[in-house]
Every structure is written in C-alpha cells, then in structure tokens.
C-alpha cells in the first residue's frame, strides 16, 4: 500500500475517474469494506492526506475505501502492463 499511495495521482478528476472505473467493473456493487491497520511510511501518510484533501475539495468525500481500492487496482494494472521484471544479476556469495 505504501507504493500505491506514493504513486497516487494528485488530481481530483483522475481519482474520481479511477473510482468510477472500479464501480463500473463491479457494476456498482462495491463489496463491503473494513478498516485496516496497515503501516505505511510518513511520506505515504502525507500523500494519503493529500488525496483525501483533493477528494474533499472535489465534493467526493466519504469514498476513501473505494478510492484506495481503485488506486491499488490501477497500480497493479500498470505493473501488469509494464511486464515482468528483468532477472536480478546477483553475484555469487563465495
């Protein structure tokens, strides 16, 4: 989740668009969510607050769970499109 938050767009229109794409995929039947106790870095916490503030300013408050879910799915989709990571070139230990 740390990487997802750090990669999150700071654009209210994009955040709303990602939410709408998720809602469309799930045909408006977003599953019930619950709070989590994931720990993230101070930078990710700051980015979360920025995303929340943008959502609030765009009159899109109270969608936090779904916004975070949409951000996660967007991040995973971008990883899938990017393809596999190149193999690591690790030197032998001995």
Q: What is the DSSP string of 8-44?
A: ----HHHHHHHHHHHHHHTTT-PPP---------HHH
Q: Which domain holds residue 12?
A: 2-29+39-82
pLDDT in tens, 38-89: 789 999 999 999 998 988 888 887 777 788 888 998 999 999 999 998 888 8
Backbone torsions φ then ψ of 16, nearest 5 degrees: -65, -40
Residue 67: the pLDDT is 85
What gap in Å lies between CA 12 and CA 19, rounded to an integer? 11
Give domain status of residue 92, yes or no.
no
Give the pair of three-digit tokens for residue 26.
Answer: 């799930």
The DSSP letter of residue 28 is: T
Give domain status of residue 94, yes or no.
no
Give domain status of residue 43, yes or no.
yes
Number of domains in the chain: 1
Give domain status of residue 34, yes or no.
no
Give domain status of residue 21, yes or no.
yes
Q: Calculate helix-pair angle for 64-82, 12-25, nearest 10 degrees.
A: 90
């Amino acid at each position: 989740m740390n990487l997802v938050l750090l990669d999150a767009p700071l654009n209210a229109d994009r955040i709303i668009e990602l939410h709408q794409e998720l809602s469309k995929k799930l045909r408006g039947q977003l599953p019930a969510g619950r709070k989590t106790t994931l720990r993230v870095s101070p930078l990710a916490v700051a980015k979360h607050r920025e995303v929340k503030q943008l959502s609030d300013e765009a009159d899109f408050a109270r969608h936090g769970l779904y916004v975070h879910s949409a951000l996660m799915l967007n991040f995973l989709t971008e990883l899938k499109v990017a393809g596999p990571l190149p193999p690591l070139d690790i030197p032998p230990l001995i």
